[in-house]
Amino acid sequence: MKIEHIEAFPVSIPLNHTYKDANRIETHSRDVVVKIFSSDGAIGWGAGSPRTFPTGETQASAIKVLEEVLLPLLVGMNPFRLEAIHRDMEASLPFHFASKSAIDCALYDLQGRVLNQPVYNLLGGKIRNEMPSFDILPLESPEKTAEIASAAQAKGTMAFKVKMNQDLKKSVCRVRAVREAIGGEAILVVDANTSWTPKLAISACSMIEEYDITMVEQPVPGHDIEGMAFITQNTRVRIGADESMRPDYMAELIRRRAADVVNIKVNREGGLLPCKKAAAIAEMNGIEGLCGSVIQGALIDAAAAHLFASTPGIVYNESGKAPAWHDLDIATGLRVENGMVKVPEGPGLGMEIDEKVLKNFLSKD
């Protein structure tokens, strides 16, 4: 069996509410979708969500890289030779991880469909059937943020991430309002999105510690591994690495034990295969894993669900938002019931693509 033909699509899926954090405002999930045709007629689908930071990609640049560099490289290759494909993609063009993630996930989907097996069986086998649903709360007033959290909790969500920025007074009020709204049983994470200095981060941690914070994610810029280590060593709150978990920072981050938790994102690490490797390295060094996400469609969320289901070192989850954030998606098959994201059970990623919807959501620019 060989890869016969590959297509790539820029897809912008409308959100049902605007998302805002310390660095940006989003109204759509802007993904790149890859469709791989094999010589025996099997088809695999995958997606990535390009970001100017931390992967240095836009939707337009990702499509250009896919069409001009990466996809032609794959034609004629055996779709089961994932290690060789990743080696050749990296040798041909470093970085561009969202583009490579779309290819990697499409190859896993294709393999699963050929073998009539769910992807989690190709990743080591399932150890979990479901994961808690999660909601990211946008950077709004404390009252509005608490209102959004209460509405999500009423639908079953029991894990939340509150955005913070340099306005510590309002940020702390936002955290307090959410904790009061959701009660003491729900998981509460906060995320500064790289907006603090190390000493400001330590001050902020001391101010919010009383609200039973599971972790503070990425308090300082991603490249500041020294700052991450300083904060981790000088606060009682768990520190999570997100932007600092970029593939080119990861080794130094883990060597320095500069975080208590690492955010492993299918989209940023370059696909499921690199994610399994990253999770294994973290686990060997006693660092917990978080199955992370960006604002993305259900096809990427499904890949993350298979990763979470098959990886014991990943103990926290923030994937599975797509069904709540999109009224209409290009992919169906990812279910959230009673606050739990169900791992898709069908062959491959277990998702079905509506190509009419995909066509309607093709990016115009």
Question: CA torsion sign, 109 to 112 to 113 to 118?
Answer: negative
The pLDDT assigned to 18 comes to 84
- Both 208 and 113 in one domain: the answer is no
Q: What is the mean pLDDT of the chain?
A: 94
Report the b/e string of 140-165 with b at 16+ CB within 10 A.
eebeebbbbbeebbeeebbbbbbbbb
In this prediction, residues 18-24 reach a mean pLDDT of: 75
- Both 144 and 197 in one domain: the answer is yes
d(CA 228, CA 233) in angstroms, rounded, equals 9
- Both 225 and 333 in one domain: the answer is yes
The pLDDT assigned to 22 comes to 65
Convert the pLDDT of each residue in 219-255 to its tens digit.
999 999 999 999 999 999 999 999 999 888 999 999 9
Q: Is residue 45 part of a domain?
A: yes
* Count of CA atoms in the C-beta half-sphere (13 A) of 108: 33
The pLDDT assigned to 320 comes to 83
DSSP string, 256-288: TT--SEEEEEHHHHTSHHHHHHHHHHHHHTT-E
**Domain tally, the chain:** 2
- Both 287 and 300 in one domain: the answer is yes
Alpha carbon 201 to chain centroid, angstroms: 24
- Cβ–Cβ under 8 Å, residues 332 and 354: yes
- Both 85 and 25 in one domain: the answer is yes
- Both 110 and 129 in one domain: the answer is no
Report the candidate in 10, 8, 26, 28 with the shortest Cα–Cα distance to residue 363. 10
- Cβ–Cβ under 8 Å, residues 243 and 221: yes
Q: What is the DSSP letter of 351?
A: -
Report the candidate in 23, 18, 20 with the shortest Cα–Cα distance to residue 194. 23
Three-state secondary structure call for residue 198: helix
Rounded to the nearest 10 degrees, the angle between the axes of helix 168-182 and helix 198-208 is 30
Question: CA torsion sign, 289 to 291 to 295 to 300?
Answer: positive
325: domain CATH number? 3.20.20.120
- Residue 365 in this model has a pLDDT that exceeds 70: no
Q: Is residue 338 part of a domain?
A: yes
Report the candidate in 193, 188, 199 with the shortest Cα–Cα distance to residue 165. 193
Which stretch of 24-28, 139-143, 195-199, 294-298 has the lowest confidence by average pLDDT?
24-28
Three-state secondary structure call for residue 324: helix
- Residue 51 in this model has a pLDDT that exceeds 80: yes
The pLDDT assigned to 183 comes to 96
Convert the pLDDT of each residue in 126-138 to its tens digit.
999 998 888 888 8
Containing structural domain, residue 217: 122-349
In this prediction, residues 80-103 reach a mean pLDDT of: 96
- Both 68 and 182 in one domain: the answer is no
The pLDDT assigned to 139 comes to 86
- Both 129 and 82 in one domain: the answer is no
Three-state secondary structure call for residue 206: helix
Q: Is residue 310 part of a domain?
A: yes
Q: For the chain, what's the residue count?
A: 365
- Both 90 and 167 in one domain: the answer is no
- Cβ–Cβ under 8 Å, residues 145 and 20: no
Report the b/e string of 293-315 with b at 16+ CB within 10 A.
bbbbbbbbbbbbbbbbbbbebbe
- Both 214 and 306 in one domain: the answer is yes
The pLDDT assigned to 319 comes to 84
Q: Is residue 48 part of a domain?
A: yes
Q: Is residue 248 part of a domain?
A: yes
* Count of CA atoms in the C-beta half-sphere (13 A) of 18: 7
% residues pLDDT > 70 (the chain): 99
- Both 215 and 73 in one domain: the answer is no
In this prediction, residues 101-113 reach a mean pLDDT of: 98
Rounded to the nearest 10 degrees, the angle between the axes of helix 97-115 and helix 82-92 is 160
Q: Is residue 365 part of a domain?
A: no
User: Which residue type is seen at 53?
Assistant: F
% residues pLDDT > 90 (the chain): 84
Q: Is residue 209 part of a domain?
A: yes
- Both 14 and 90 in one domain: the answer is yes
Convert the pLDDT of each residue in 303-317 to its tens digit.
999 999 999 999 998
Q: Is residue 261 part of a domain?
A: yes
- Cβ–Cβ under 8 Å, residues 159 and 191: no
97: domain CATH number? 3.30.390.10
Q: List, in sequence order, the alpha helices (H) in the chain.
A: 59-65, 71-74, 82-92, 97-115, 119-122, 142-154, 168-182, 198-208, 225-233, 250-255, 266-269, 272-284, 298-310, 322-325, 355-360
